[in-house]
Amino acid sequence: MSYIKKYIDDNKDRFLDELFGLIRIPSISSLSEHKPDMVKCAEYWRDQMLKAGADKAEVMPTDGHPVVYGEKIIDPKAPTVLVYAHYDVMPVDPIEEWKSQPFEPVIRDGKIFARGADDDKGQGFMHAKAFELMVKTKTLPCNVKFMIEGEEEMGSPNLGKWLDQHKEMLKADVILVSDTSLLGKDEPSITTGLRGLAYVEVEVTGPNRDLHSGLFGGAVANPANILAKMIASLHDENNHITIPGFYDDVLEVNPTERAEMNKAPFSLDEYKKALDIKEVWGEKGFTTLERVGIRPTLDVNGIWGGYIGEGAKTVLPSKASAKISMRLVPNQDHNKIAKLFQKHFEAIAPSYVKVKVTPLHGGQGYVAPTNTPAYQAASKAMEETFGKKPIPYRSGGSIPIISTFEEKLGLKSILMGFGLESDAIHSPNENYQLEMFFKGIETIPLFYKYFSEMAR
Amino acid sequence: MSYIKKYIDDNKDRFLDELFGLIRIPSISSLSEHKPDMVKCAEYWRDQMLKAGADKAEVMPTDGHPVVYGEKIIDPKAPTVLVYAHYDVMPVDPIEEWKSQPFEPVIRDGKIFARGADDDKGQGFMHAKAFELMVKTKTLPCNVKFMIEGEEEMGSPNLGKWLDQHKEMLKADVILVSDTSLLGKDEPSITTGLRGLAYVEVEVTGPNRDLHSGLFGGAVANPANILAKMIASLHDENNHITIPGFYDDVLEVNPTERAEMNKAPFSLDEYKKALDIKEVWGEKGFTTLERVGIRPTLDVNGIWGGYIGEGAKTVLPSKASAKISMRLVPNQDHNKIAKLFQKHFEAIAPSYVKVKVTPLHGGQGYVAPTNTPAYQAASKAMEETFGKKPIPYRSGGSIPIISTFEEKLGLKSILMGFGLESDAIHSPNENYQLEMFFKGIETIPLFYKYFSEMAR
């Protein structure tokens, strides 16, 4: 047994105990009532870094929730790995669909069930434990810096400014992130592309108050019906998005690369079966893998208006609202897209309603090269622990901050995630496989080892 | 001063105290948590009837919330007025828009503000007090029976069976109801038509769980987008309803009657100003008064799906739902329309989602003749208290039980309501003008008087 496996084996239970302590803090960044939990969670991370062997670690203020920064410098001339993770999590609605309490982690069928079990407490914490392992076994081959933020699930609105203020402190050779998924448990992969995101909230107002639907129905525009009509018009019959200019900056992917992409292990039948759907849906002319990998999309993330309680209420609502997000491909600018959306949505609003469009957050897409020492080191590390060379692939998800890192710090990121599609991140019953948690802790020291060798 | 006005004047404050006691019981029939309040409210009504002078009064069970029945028989050969009202009220959402607590009545600007202040506690209670007035002043000219139900706002699902069981007990010459509005404070009117109602709930299911909108968006049908598209398709470009067969049974109203209807006092400018809308909306080829008076309509009463909390959550929801109601005109059958809706909604559902349609409740429309002694008595009574002959008019609202009364008991109803459009029934800040409450108590004994004279 290698020293890595032995250390993990000797400390397994404690690793889980410590992770569970982190998970138990309900650090939902988007709900203001959880502000005290955000500080508590940041302090927990700081204490863990110090315990693991950091030279220093501190909770640093931003204009929003704080960032935890820690470091261990073994030699100013050695390469430096900057680890990024986030300690904030998504809200837990719909709470009634959870089989156990979201902030009380339980292990069932070899999986940890809890909000944040994977995204990104489970995956982030692997780095704390891999770091401890390297320190305690005296095998840390390079310098390490940690920045653990608390606003990733809100689109990292304040991290850019913090990066600007601490460029010197954050100097490094590569950024290492575990916040993505593998193609499968036995299909190791490294994420080389991410979609950008433009997220807006829209509100359609009809009459100045809720009305009786009998006395006014049919004579006054119903904002819920109008909102439905406006949303419906955002896709044409081929499921293309109808916002003028929306596709202008999309770079077409050449046929060779598309063919390559479609070779990834993927079964449409299993996909449909896993989701219990009869048919997939999407933009005409593209495969399912292409639709999430290389095409921009538009989805309603939430819609509400009028009476939504038990039974029947005959109301013609005053307002109806929706949260709408667009996933963008590299070269589409999220600010430009949010503006195009706003302009279009206002333009299609009929005269009998008022509309308000509020951009909530956004981020640029990202593409990573595979010919760098960092990618090669990650590939080699994973090949060693999985017994199989990982596949580079473009994910449909977004981590807006990754492109900001490149812009502000001039650094590329290695997206070496250990999640699985079945982890239900952002959903009820989020979970993380114990096997993947420990596989991550095992793989990370190997990355450090090969990266230090190659980058010197 | 007449004996009527004097009695009201002498007892004003007590009348309000007793009404406020009724209002303070939160009898929301559609929310199961209020079941105990329903019984409490029924008992309050029973006690009030006995106090006012009823020979007997009791709370009678149904398969749902109970009915309160009371009577005073002065002479088996005299005519009998059967009073109908309801003690249940609508839910109070959105609660944050109320300026005072919905179940703590307060008087501001000469109006009682509370849920049920008008609909139908304020209007219903006028009958208890008018009855008391006639008993105490020894002027009751005929027999009186009361049936006060607790499920009107749910569409009276159990009253039909109760009527069948008590046909003998309920024998009467006319039904008197105050649950409608006047055209204006100084524009007395009697409602001679009501729209029917078919109310359904629809649920669209896509994937079997909420998904991450980045990893799945664009590749899996989003039920919120699909629901929007389905709802949007229910009206065509002329705002006609697209459900096949929907208009088949609609009786066209002849041009003379339409011209007559459009002579009712109505200012489109004031209507738009009062609602703060730039334009009205509706079916092409009809005026606003026609749209609510003689045309069937379809409205979304509530819509919900996905994440509707604070901030942004990138979820592709598993389900999206809506409550949809159709107002029907006389001769349209609500059961047939609910079936047509269901068939159509299922037919237009694309293969990548599942839909479920649940009929919630319904009722037939109603038209009342104006050449009956009861109508003439109501007209004469109102003319005396308002100084102006009331206008017969067709309301856009629905009181499903009115057509059931005709079917089960063979009785027409006189819809002599004293509400105003500005009373905001079913909305936040529901209110009832004190002046109208007392005007009702003043008018009702006159109706009894003239009706007894004419019907003998």
CATH of the domain at B232: 3.30.70.360
Distances (CA, A) of B84 to B210, B309, B364, B415: 47, 42, 17, 10
- Residue A105 pLDDT > 70: yes
Residue B65 counted as domain residue: yes
User: What are the phi and psi torsion angles at B31 (to 5°)?
Assistant: -105, 120
Question: Is the same domain home to B7 and B59?
Answer: yes
Q: Please, which pLDDT band fits residue B400 given cuts at 50, 70 and 90? A: confident
Could you count the other beta carbons within 10 Å of the beta carbon of residue A273?
11
Q: Is B320 on the interface with A (CB under 8 A)?
A: yes
Say what the pTM is. 0.79
Q: What is the mean pLDDT of the segment spanning A4-24? A: 98
Kindly name the residue from A88, A119, A173, A179 that is annotated as catalytic. A88
Q: Each residue of B192-249: pLDDT tens digit?
A: 989 999 999 999 999 999 998 888 999 999 999 999 999 999 999 999 999 999 999 9
- Residue B91 pLDDT > 80: yes
Residue B76 counted as domain residue: yes
Two structure tokens written together for A319:
């307002």
- On whether the CB atoms of residues B354 and B204 are closer than 8 A, the answer is yes
- On whether the CB atoms of residues A38 and A150 are closer than 8 A, the answer is yes
Among A363, A392, A414, residue at a domain's last position:
A363
Domain count, chain B: 2
Question: Is the same domain home to B354 and B310?
Answer: yes
Chain A positions touching B233 (Cβ under 8 A) are 232
Give the closest-approach CA distance of A232 to chain B in angstroms.
Answer: 4
Query: Torsion angle of alpha carbons B88, B94, B99, B101, nearest 10°?
Result: 40
Two structure tokens written together for A420:
């699985």
Mean pLDDT of chain B: 95
Residue A286 counted as domain residue: no
Question: Which of A199, A278, A425 has the CB atom closest to B352's CB atom?
Answer: A278
Residue type, position A319, single letter? K
Q: In this predicted structure, what is the pLDDT of residue B370? A: 87
* CATH number for the domain that contains residue A400: 3.40.630.10
Residue B18 counted as domain residue: yes
Q: Examine the residue annotation and report whether A435 is marked as an active-site residue of this protein.
A: no
Smallest CA-to-CA distance from B92 within B31, B157, B20, B44 is with: B31
Smallest CA-to-CA distance from B30 within B361, B297, B259, B293 is with: B361
Q: In this predicted structure, what is the pLDDT of residue A1? A: 64
Q: Each residue of A167-189: pLDDT tens digit?
A: 999 999 999 999 999 988 999 99
User: What are the phi and psi torsion angles at A136 (to 5°)?
Assistant: -70, -30
How far is the C-alpha of A323 from the C-alpha of A327, rounded, in Å?
13
How far is the C-alpha of B231 from the C-alpha of B228, rounded, in Å?
5
ipTM: 0.78
Question: Is the same domain home to B57 and B178?
Answer: yes
Question: Which of B212, B221, B311 has the CB atom closest to A426's CB atom?
Answer: B212
* Cβ contacts of B149 within 8 Å, gap of 6 or more: B65, B67, B68, B84, B85, B86, B87, B88, B156, B159, B401
What percentage of chain A exceeds 70 in pLDDT? 100
- Residue B1 pLDDT > 80: no
Residues 288-317 of B with CB under 8 A from A: 288, 291-292, 295-297, 299-317
* Cβ contacts of A139 within 8 Å, gap of 6 or more: A3, A133, A445, A449
How far is the C-alpha of B312 from the C-alpha of A154, rounded, in Å?
6
Q: In this predicted structure, what is the pLDDT of residue A54? A: 98
Query: Torsion angle of alpha carbons A155, A159, A164, A169, nearest 10°?
Result: -140
Residues 379-408 of B with CB under 8 A from A: 395-398
Two structure tokens written together for A316:
């013609």
Residue B267 counted as domain residue: no
- On whether the CB atoms of residues B22 and B103 are closer than 8 A, the answer is no
Q: Each residue of A383-436: pLDDT tens digit?
A: 999 999 998 888 888 888 999 999 999 999 999 999 998 899 989 999 999 999
Kindly name the residue from A152, A153, A179, A423 that is annotated as catalytic. A152
Could you count the other beta carbons within 10 Å of the beta carbon of residue B258?
16
Question: Is the same domain home to A178 and A300?
Answer: no
Smallest CA-to-CA distance from B330 within B200, B194, B198 is with: B194
Give the closest-approach CA distance of A319 to chain B in angstroms.
Answer: 10
Question: Is the same domain home to A174 and A229?
Answer: no
Most A-contacting residue of B119, B315, B360, B421 (CB-CB within 10 A), to test interface: B315
Q: Is A33 on the interface with B (CB under 8 A)?
A: no
Check CB contact under 8 Å for A279 and B307: no
The highest-confidence range among A131-140, A206-215, A356-365, B176-185, by mean pLDDT, is A131-140
Chain A positions touching B311 (Cβ under 8 A) are 29-31, 91, 154, 360
Which residues are paired to B357 by β-bridges?
A: B202
How far is the C-alpha of B354 from the C-alpha of A91, rounded, in Å?
27
Residue B288: its H or E element: helix B288-293
Q: Examine the residue annotation and report whether A237 is marked as an active-site residue of this protein.
A: no
Check CB contact under 8 Å for B219 and A316: no
**B349-370 per-residue burial string, b: 16 or more CB within 10 A, e: under 16:** beebbbbebebbbbbbbbebee
Among B363, B387, B408, residue at a domain's last position:
B363
Question: Is the same domain home to A245 and A356?
Answer: yes
Question: Is the same domain home to A77 and A156?
Answer: yes
Which residues are paired to B326 by β-bridges?
A: B198, B298
* Cβ contacts of A259 within 8 Å, gap of 6 or more: none
Q: In this predicted structure, what is the pLDDT of residue B46? A: 98
Question: Is the same domain home to B354 and B384?
Answer: no
Question: Is the same domain home to A214 and A140?
Answer: no
Among B311, B328, B363, residue at a domain's last position:
B363
CA B8 to chain CA centroid, nearest Å: 27
Residues 198-217 of B with CB under 8 A from A: 199, 201, 206-217
Question: Which of B308, B350, B396 has the CB atom closest to A215's CB atom?
Answer: B396
Q: Please, which pLDDT band fits residue A363 given cuts at 50, 70 and 90? A: confident
Residue A313 counted as domain residue: yes
CA atoms in the 13 A half-sphere facing the CB of B73: 9
Q: In this predicted structure, what is the pLDDT of residue B212? A: 87
Q: Each residue of A45-88: pLDDT tens digit?
A: 999 999 999 999 999 999 999 999 999 999 999 999 999 999 99
Residues 99-138 of B with CB under 8 A from A: none
How far is the C-alpha of B397 from the C-alpha of B393, rounded, in Å?
12
Question: Is the same domain home to B323 and B442?
Answer: no
Domain that holds residue B323: 196-250+296-363
Question: Is the same domain home to B65 and B102?
Answer: yes
Q: Is A182 on the interface with B (CB under 8 A)?
A: no
Q: Each residue of A263-272: pLDDT tens digit?
A: 888 899 999 9
What percentage of chain B exceeds 70 in pLDDT? 100
Question: Is the same domain home to A201 and A110?
Answer: no
Check CB contact under 8 Å for A210 and B305: no
Q: Each residue of B283-329: pLDDT tens digit?
A: 999 999 999 988 999 999 999 999 998 888 889 999 999 999 999 99
- Residue A328 pLDDT > 80: yes
